[in-house]
Amino acid sequence: MARNIKGTIVIEGEEVPVSNPDKLLWPEAGISKLMYLQKLAELSPYLLRYCRNRLLTTIRYPGGIHSKFFYQKNAPEPLPPFVQTAVHDGINYVVLDSLPALLWLGNLAAIEFHPSLHYVGEQLPCEWMIDLDPSMDEEPRIMEAASYVGDILTSLGLSSVPKTSGATGVQIIVPIRHGVSFDDLRLIGHFVARYVTEKYPGLFTIERLKKDRGDKIYFDYLQHYGGKTLAAPYTPRARQAASVSTPLTWEEVRRNPSPSDFHLLNIGSRLKERGDLLEAVPPQSVEMILQHLRQPAGKK
């Protein structure tokens, strides 16, 4: 339980500074920094699960979501003793593993949390994540597209969890058994991407250059590299609705929700009701799929 000291909160025995508590970070939603810290505390059992033991990049908006922002990879200085870090490729990343560290970042107006796709000190991915990225600012077909990809994964024997990016896209997460490489996942991803673009050519593209995508949804199977990041499950986003990247059921996807339906003001009640949908899907093997894809063309 936190207790107030002038300009600080004390939580889990650590003193976390709080500056400009009345500063509106999301003006349209009426969310001040102090409210944001309260919402981060509410999200922390879920958000920390997908940031712990990973290299963290944050996006900071010191003046609120309509002000200038910057990406923060190197840990901000000075570092309080309760914030853990890890060096990777010459960058001293925050490793977000505690509520005090989360609230410290929140006070620095870190609004978005983008963890690495691998654990600290490892080179193998934590999970397989497919990124569906619309080419248009408003894409009414994004949930339809996600549903088609989910059906294909099911046909391959894989359980998956769709989540809103919190912005315009959708990510589909497949929990996998440890030991699969990034190269392996790109191989499977390319196979699924090629299949959906051939089956739904008016909807999907694998064209890397945005200017060449037209109005199609980009199936990004190339995102899986060491050092790459994607928006964490349950991260807030710098959007007017104060949206939160939220795992969904496939039944919800078929009802065509808007990513802005899930936001800081209602995510707490949703999590109390449904819990973490991602945690319910166990890690799965993709070895049979990989064996099939590695076979020479004539033997498939």
* Residue pLDDT, tens place only, 197-224: 999 999 999 988 888 889 999 999 887 6
- For the chain, the average pLDDT equals 93
Sketch out the chain's domains with CATH numbers: 6-119 (3.90.920.10), 128-292 (3.90.920.10)
* Cα angle: 260, vertex 112, 172; to 5 degrees: 60
284 burial level (CB within 10 Å; 0-12, 13-18, 19+): middle
The Cα 224–Cα 181 span in angstroms is 9
What integer pLDDT is reported at residue 151 of this predicted model?
Answer: 97
CA-CA-CA-CA dihedral for 127, 132, 133, 136, to nearest 10: -160
Residue 174 tokens, joined: 């497949």
262 burial level (CB within 10 Å; 0-12, 13-18, 19+): buried
Q: Dihedrals φ, ψ of 286, to 5°?
A: -115, 15
The predicted model scores a pTM of 0.93
Sole residue written with tokens 């958000």 = 47
* Residue pLDDT, tens place only, 236-276: 999 999 999 999 999 999 999 999 999 999 999 999 999 99
Percent of the chain with pLDDT over 90: 84
* Element containing residue 205 per DSSP (H, E): strand 204-205
Sole residue written with tokens 């076979």 = 295
| Residue 136 near residue 146, CB atoms below 8 Å | no
Helix (H, G, I), strand (E, B) or coil at 146: helix
Distances (CA, A) of 111 to 170, 234, 252, 281: 19, 11, 26, 27
Query: Minimal CA–CA distance to 174: which of 162, 187, 190, 186?
Result: 162
Confidence of residue 1 (pLDDT cuts 50, 70, 90): very low
Helix (H, G, I), strand (E, B) or coil at 42: helix
The Cα 244–Cα 252 span in angstroms is 16
